[in-house]
Structure 1
């Protein structure tokens, strides 16, 4: 890499981080999750607003692979923390209603999404029709677990029955989404890759068998009491996440699966005392690298050529994504006895997508299942559905304001991997007079979530 490339890379990173932080803060001021502003920053730096000339000068072809590599590291660490945050105890006492909501939230939009795919095939042809149909069903079915946790905190729902069910249902939807995406990638990868993809089964079994070793690794040092982990323990976990990401990439699957799987299999009893430290250390890295992912994703978003046909496609996508998610979640929750107002709030919450959607869309683009035009429309859908969650909740609360009667619970919060952990000031900020409590104990005062 030449000196010119190094200068341009550093300038690009400075521009990306400054714009993403600025628009993220602006989004927070207007009541939106910061990820809305950060995704918008990626779109604004793409060709939609300024055209190819400025974009090609800011992000030339020989610098983009370097930005992509940095973004991949950030997403891998983000997915590791998302897997780490999956909590089996969320289902205790509410398994039926959570499973009902998750089933409706996945099945109804998936079925509608497959019908949408058949409509979209007319103008966005692909040589892998079956994989495209399944992928579109998946793309409108996902829920962004971390964004959901942040909205719960801001709305004071973290300690309610609705909040607990929402977190549990979103966790179930996440597992289904990543598993289904792995299957789509196996099919889209071609028959020659099937034998490599099959290695995921023994690989997962090996990780599960290694749980006792991971438990010993996370145990406090002799004589160290319950103190946080040393740097070598945290380093070992990051190494494990990156190695698992590399392993699934070598199997013909996306690296996100390995990082997510490693976080998911870590023994929860052993990881609980060190979770805050893991969040803090990885959060400092992802807060810098995830905005790079938004820009890399935004460089492929070009809305300049969207005509009447494109607007019709966008309308159909939004209708299926919003109506399918809301109606499916509401019906699933009501079928298990959840009150109408609580089911409505849950349906609005499950409609948020955030970074999770962008990661899935990036896989679809990489596999050739999406062309640039359809990819751009789906990114707009991800941005719109995430932005509409807060207003939808406000509307429901105005119609049914009596949520204070819901029983309180203590679901675990999920600090954003891109921000400092609870009680730890963000880089460059002074610590407040008292530590900031976790999501479950002080709604609305945590770091932002994606």
Structure 2
């Protein structure tokens, strides 16, 4: 065993190459089945973590992925996470909210889905606390469960809408706008919960941390954003280095520095990456051309692998732990679909469009995984709760595309129906 461990420890690039190749293969396999590639990448983390551990045993698993290698994978994964959130911030587009009907419908759908899903998630969290997370603070755990079930994964939702040809439909447009609003609400609520659950949870401590957060957002919007734009223009005109190279260096530095600042004020580095992307969203074309592919292929897989390698299935042996999976899944699906459907109908959307939007909003995927990792890192949830909520995120994402295709077969095509309604609203 010592010889085997020495072999793998001496070949860190072997493990990294395995992760990248496995992520691409699983992503391609899921894509062939009509699913999003990111689900395959998430599954790789589970396969390399709990599944490989159960198959090989603890000693062999430690030999293949020794502690030193895991630390390197986790570091690369954290960098990948910050840059991934940076990309999400770059692609945030508020143009969909310019149309009054779309903006009002999206706001209604987002609010309806968040309120009902949060309430049901918090209720299940309250009932499951003593079983799944007795060592975690009750308030933080309960509120976090509500947030976890309220999230909609905007990047995965956009990919599904594109694959189904719904990008120019009312259902697709409202879905994208509502998902963006939902994610903003989710991150704001998560920030508040982290502040409330910090080690200094006194009223003074909470107010101090909230003050730091608000101060950073104000400085970022009205101080850092104009400065970055001025630097971009200056470097493009006066630097001997190609403008694209300087722009990439500036964007990378901004993303990492914002991640560092949010960590200093007691938040997660992922939030800093998101804010940095929002600040520099006018530069998205440069990033897409030079960096996005590398981040998605060369860094993000390490984030999912590190997440999987940290999982501990030992606490999931009792049957009642798995019964909570059904409870979380039911609360997630019912909260999102019913809340968004009713809100869509109240906002004046047709039955068919409201139904399609409700199914789309049940997509959790990538953003949910990130939020769950933040909760785990911040001590808001246990390993058991993390794994169960991870399964819910994967299941609700996998069911989105088949359900939309089924709706298209059993009733009017969502895309055609939605396009007609969009044209009517424009007139």
Task: Tell me whether the two structures share a fold, i.e. TM-score over 0.5.
Answer: yes
Given the alignment of the two structures, is residue 299 of structure 1 paired with residue 322 of structure 2, yes or no?
no
Given the alignment of the two structures, is residue 290 of structure 1 paired with residue 304 of structure 2, yes or no?
no
- TM-score, structure 2 as length reference: 0.88
1:328-380: per-residue Cα shift (whole Å, max 9, x none)? 11111111011111111111111111121111111221222222222111111
Residue of structure 1 in register with 2:246 after alignment: 232
Residue of structure 2 in register with 1:53 after alignment: 59
Given the alignment of the two structures, is residue 371 of structure 1 paired with residue 386 of structure 2, yes or no?
no
Structure 2 gaps of 5+ residues are 1-5, 423-427
Partner Cα separation in structure 1 for residue 220 and residue 7 of structure 2: 43
- Count of aligned pairs: 400
Shift in Å, 1:6: 6.7
Residue of structure 1 in register with 2:284 after alignment: 275
Structure 1 gaps of 5+ residues are 411-450
User: Cα gap change, 1:9/1:183 in structure 2, threshold over 3 Å: closer, same or farther?
Assistant: farther
Please tell me whether the aligned partners of residues 8 and 63 of structure 2 are also in contact (alpha carbons under 8 angstroms): no
Partner Cα separation in structure 1 for residue 398 and residue 60 of structure 2: 28
Given the alignment of the two structures, is residue 115 of structure 1 paired with residue 128 of structure 2, yes or no?
no
Given the alignment of the two structures, is residue 241 of structure 1 paired with residue 249 of structure 2, yes or no?
no
1:89-112: per-residue Cα shift (whole Å, max 9, x none)? 110111100000100121110001
| Deviation larger for 387-396 or 209-218 | 209-218
**Aligned positions of 1:107-186 closer than 5 A:** 107-124=115-132, 125-186=134-195
Shift in Å, 1:183: 1.3
Partner Cα separation in structure 2 for residue 249 and residue 408 of structure 1: 47
Partner Cα separation in structure 1 for residue 244 and residue 379 of structure 2: 43
Shift in Å, 1:129: 0.7
Residue of structure 1 in register with 2:278 after alignment: 264
Partner Cα separation in structure 2 for residue 371 and residue 53 of structure 1: 24
Partner Cα separation in structure 1 for residue 213 and residue 337 of structure 2: 33
Residue of structure 1 in register with 2:425 after alignment: none
Shift in Å, 1:22: 0.5
Partner Cα separation in structure 2 for residue 408 and residue 9 of structure 1: 56
Shift in Å, 1:282: 2.7
User: Cα gap change, 1:306/1:327 in structure 2, threshold over 3 Å: closer, same or farther?
Assistant: farther
SS of equivalent to 1:369: coil
1:148-191: per-residue Cα shift (whole Å, max 9, x none)? 01000100001111111111111101111111111111122221
Given the alignment of the two structures, is residue 19 of structure 1 paired with residue 32 of structure 2, yes or no?
no
User: Cα gap change, 1:183/1:223 in structure 2, threshold over 3 Å: closer, same or farther?
Assistant: closer
Please tell me whether the aligned partners of residues 144 and 356 of structure 1 are also in contact (alpha carbons under 8 angstroms): yes
Please tell me whether the aligned partners of residues 244 and 286 of structure 2 are also in contact (alpha carbons under 8 angstroms): no
Please tell me whether the aligned partners of residues 300 and 376 of structure 1 are also in contact (alpha carbons under 8 angstroms): no
| Deviation larger for 160-169 or 56-65 | 56-65
1:278-310: per-residue Cα shift (whole Å, max 9, x none)? 123332133211111111111233446444212
Residue of structure 2 in register with 1:95 after alignment: 103
1:100-131: per-residue Cα shift (whole Å, max 9, x none)? 01001211100011101111113121341111
Residue of structure 1 in register with 2:74 after alignment: 68
Residue of structure 1 in register with 2:3 after alignment: none
Residue of structure 2 in register with 1:199 after alignment: 212
Shift in Å, 1:52: 2.7
Partner Cα separation in structure 2 for residue 401 and residue 321 of structure 1: 27
Residue of 307, 316, 324 corresponding to 2:335: 324
Given the alignment of the two structures, is residue 336 of structure 1 paired with residue 347 of structure 2, yes or no?
yes
| Deviation larger for 70-79 or 290-299 | 290-299
Given the alignment of the two structures, is residue 42 of structure 1 paired with residue 48 of structure 2, yes or no?
no
1:126-156: per-residue Cα shift (whole Å, max 9, x none)? 3411111110000111011100010001000
Partner Cα separation in structure 1 for residue 421 and residue 12 of structure 2: 47
Please tell me whether the aligned partners of residues 41 and 294 of structure 1 are also in contact (alpha carbons under 8 angstroms): yes
Partner Cα separation in structure 2 for residue 405 and residue 388 of structure 1: 22
Shift in Å, 1:213: 2.6
Residue of structure 1 in register with 2:266 after alignment: 252
User: Cα gap change, 1:128/1:160 in structure 2, threshold over 3 Å: closer, same or farther?
Assistant: same
User: Cα gap change, 1:4/1:253 in structure 2, threshold over 3 Å: closer, same or farther?
Assistant: farther
Residue of structure 2 in register with 1:209 after alignment: 222
| Deviation larger for 185-194 or 336-345 | 185-194
User: Cα gap change, 1:5/1:322 in structure 2, threshold over 3 Å: closer, same or farther?
Assistant: same
Partner Cα separation in structure 1 for residue 172 and residue 83 of structure 2: 26
Partner Cα separation in structure 2 for residue 54 and residue 140 of structure 1: 36
Partner Cα separation in structure 1 for residue 94 and residue 233 of structure 2: 21
RMSD, aligned CA: 2.3
